[in-house]
Amino acid sequence: MLPLVVIFALGTGTVNISIADIWQATRGLFSNDSSSSSFSSSSQIHTILFDIRLPRILLALCLGVILAISGAVMQGLFRNPLADPSLIGVSGGASVGASIVIVMAGEWIQSGSALGLSAVAVGAFVGGFIATILVYRLATSEVGTSVTTMLLAGIAIGAIAGALNSLLSYFADNDMLRQISLWQMGNLSTANWSRVAMVAAVAALLGGLFPWDSRALNALLLGESEARHLGIDVQRVKRRLIVLTALGIGTCVAMAGMIGFVGLIVPHAIRLLIGPDHRWLLPGSALAGGLLLIIADSLARVVVAPTELPTGILTALLGAPFFVALLIQRRREI
């Protein structure tokens, strides 16, 4: 489905582009042949496809991969198919970090300078990592890291982050408040090739490292003591998975804001389709997450065209009803 979804996303938007024009522009990209169409028309199509839409599609693909595979890992680590990557506090901390930068550096943000945008990303990334460290330290003792305590600590840190966000919103002016609100909705409109390169590097890192722990996650499904008896260094696996998840989710939130439900819905749906074996669940979730986010972002560009909806709104509108349907189905099975 991925090639079909990418072609659909390339042709969909305020300016609809046919498959023939996409093929001609792609061929012209490698052959530098624009004789079959006017120069101005082909130049405009080339700009729309390869400077605006393709970076956004690739960014959505990489973000979906990171969110979904991180969600699958957290669900395996917490042994709960309804767990979410934000449970370790990274999303709440990143939101606070970005809000602090927006309020403290309001003039940079309003001017739209690259420095301001990068400051927001750095603030979100640092805030997410600080929150994750706090959650991990609260849940770790001499005995080891308690998953239950980590869950409770994540909820507590999330509540504190929500209070701090409300406090910052109260003191922000109208422009700052709009920036905070739009950022928390999740948006891919700032996609460019440099952002794609950074997110793709993180997606490749997680996609290469997470599968190495597939057997450990399968063993953890039996329980921590059983996993230790099977030769799994549970504490080391927990630490590695938490750090990598914080890296992935922190990068996603820093680059695109808060995009919910992908890390929750996609792994759960794939688990229902192919089972709980993480050797297949992780790559399946990664691919499905990329597909879902590309579709959601494409719909966000056309639902109320020419205005674009924040992508996070579409993922919530698509994910929440599906999540309710899964809960109803599970209740009937029980």
One-letter amino acid of 42: S
CA atoms within 13 A on the CB side of 96: 21
Structural domains of the chain, count: 1
Q: Report pLDDT for 66.
A: 96
Alpha carbon 136 to its chain's center? 21
pLDDT digits (tens, 9 = 90+) for 199-238: 999 999 999 999 999 999 999 988 888 988 988 998 899 9
Please give the Cα distance from 150 to 140 (Å, whole number): 8
Q: Which of 76-85, 114-123, 192-201, 270-279 has the lowest mean pLDDT?
A: 114-123
Residue 5 CB: number of other CB atoms within 10 A?
18
Asked whether the predicted pLDDT for residue 241 surpasses 60, the reply is yes
Longest dimension (CA), the chain: 72
Please give the Cα distance from 236 to 243 (Å, whole number): 11
Whole-model pTM: value is 0.89
295: CATH = 1.10.3470.10
Q: What is the DSSP letter of 306?
A: T
pLDDT digits (tens, 9 = 90+) for 5-54: 999 998 888 888 888 888 887 777 666 554 544 445 577 888 888 888 99
Phi and psi angles of residue 164, each rounded to the nearest 5 degrees, phi first = -65, -40
Residues of the chain with pLDDT > 90, as a percent, come to 28
pLDDT digits (tens, 9 = 90+) for 126-138: 998 899 899 988 8
pLDDT digits (tens, 9 = 90+) for 249-294: 989 988 888 888 898 889 988 988 898 999 999 999 999 999 999 9
* 266 contacts 285 by C-beta, under 8 angstroms: yes
Which residues does 209 contact at the CB level (< 8 Å), separation at least 6? 240, 244
Range of the domain at 280: 2-333
Q: For the residues 307-311, what does the mean pLDDT come to?
A: 84
Q: What is the dihedral of CA 72, 244, 54, 304, to 10 degrees?
A: 60
Alpha carbon 122 to its chain's center? 16
Q: For the residues 141-167, what does the mean pLDDT come to?
A: 86
Please give the Cα distance from 210 to 223 (Å, whole number): 19
| Comparison of pLDDT for 142 and 252, the residue scoring more | 252
Q: What rounded mean pLDDT belongs to the chain? A: 84
Please give the Cα distance from 214 to 212 (Å, whole number): 6
SS (H, E, C) 224-240: HHHHHHCCCCHHHHHHH
Q: Report pLDDT for 69.
A: 96
